[in-house]
Amino acid sequence: MEKLKIILWLIVTSSFANNVYSAADTTILLNRQKFIAGSFVDFYTDALNNIYVVTQSNQIKKLDANYDSAAVYDDVRRYGDIYSFDASNPLKELVYYKDFSTILVLDRHLNPRNTIDLRAAGIIQVKAVAASYDNNYWVFDELDNKIKKLDDNGNLLLESADFRVLFGEEYNPTCIIDNEGLLYLYDEKNGWLIFDYYGALKQKVQLKGWKNVQVENKNLLGNDTIYLYITYPAAINIQQIKPNINLASAIKIQKRGNKFFVLTKDGLTIYTL
């Protein structure tokens, strides 16, 4: 088994927060384009402009770019509540069931094509799961405090060193994002860790307390109850964006190109810039 080696770049692992400055606030006007009524608990989007909404009964409904129904996954009794969904590869979506430590792989029609039992791989406690660039899977093992990469059979391909040894503290990332040659981990209490695919730490970005984090064109995105935030790590600045909508009432927010998707208790609203 090959060991994934993490090389600490000391020049960028010093307190990044001390060097970050906020640009002047920017106000944007979002125009309401579409409202999809429903009691949804979550939603996701993909690069083909498809939308996946998760209902209270753990049903997944796929809507195409015209907001028409394209597919439904409704095997809702087998694994319980859906913890997360990864649509970064529209042809291979991942449904993660945390209570059962199980990754279910769906095709573009939301038909099951594979199941990975993390417990069989000796991985018991996981929040962050993501598809990898090479059709494998990233997970963060909370008990070992390590990034691990698995194949379709749940075999361990790579693993990092223990983060408690590397950083002197535990990390508990809520998400992993594989994007344009880099691997991003976000921990709300500690901020971002950015690695390359070989495990070298590229940057430690101590922007804490963000919700609904994303990576788009290597920009880091998130929000709180007032502002949307965007930063390009190399530029060492944060842009605070104040939209004309109430972020405090939003269950979830996601940006995709020039569209903003906002989930509230009444349904999903799509805005455009």
Residue 184 resides in a domain? yes
Angstrom distance (rounded) from CA 58 to CA 164: 35
Reported pTM: 0.88
What Å distances lie between residue 41 and 57, 97, 168, CA to CA?
9, 15, 36
Band of pLDDT at residue 13, cut at 50, 70 and 90: very low
Residue 198 resides in a domain? yes
Helical H runs in 7-158? 10-13
Render pLDDT for 89-142 as a digit per residue (tens, 0 to 9).
Answer: 999 999 999 999 999 999 999 999 999 999 999 999 999 999 999 999 999 999
Residue 100 resides in a domain? yes
- Max Cα-Cα span within the chain: 52
69 token code pair: 């129904």
Render pLDDT for 53-96 as a digit per residue (tens, 0 to 9).
Answer: 999 999 999 999 999 999 999 998 889 899 999 999 999 999 99
| Residue keyed to tokens 């083909």 | 48
Render pLDDT for 37-51 as a digit per residue (tens, 0 to 9).
Answer: 999 999 999 999 999
Tell me, what CATH number does 137's domain have?
2.120.10.30
Provide the residue range defining the domain that includes 137: 10-18+39-215
DSSP 8-state symbol, 169:
S
Report how many domains make up the chain: 1
Contacts 24+ apart (CB under 8 A), 169-175: 170/145, 171/140, 171/145, 172/127, 172/142, 173/127, 173/128, 173/140, 174/127, 174/128, 175/84, 175/127, 175/128, 175/130, 175/213
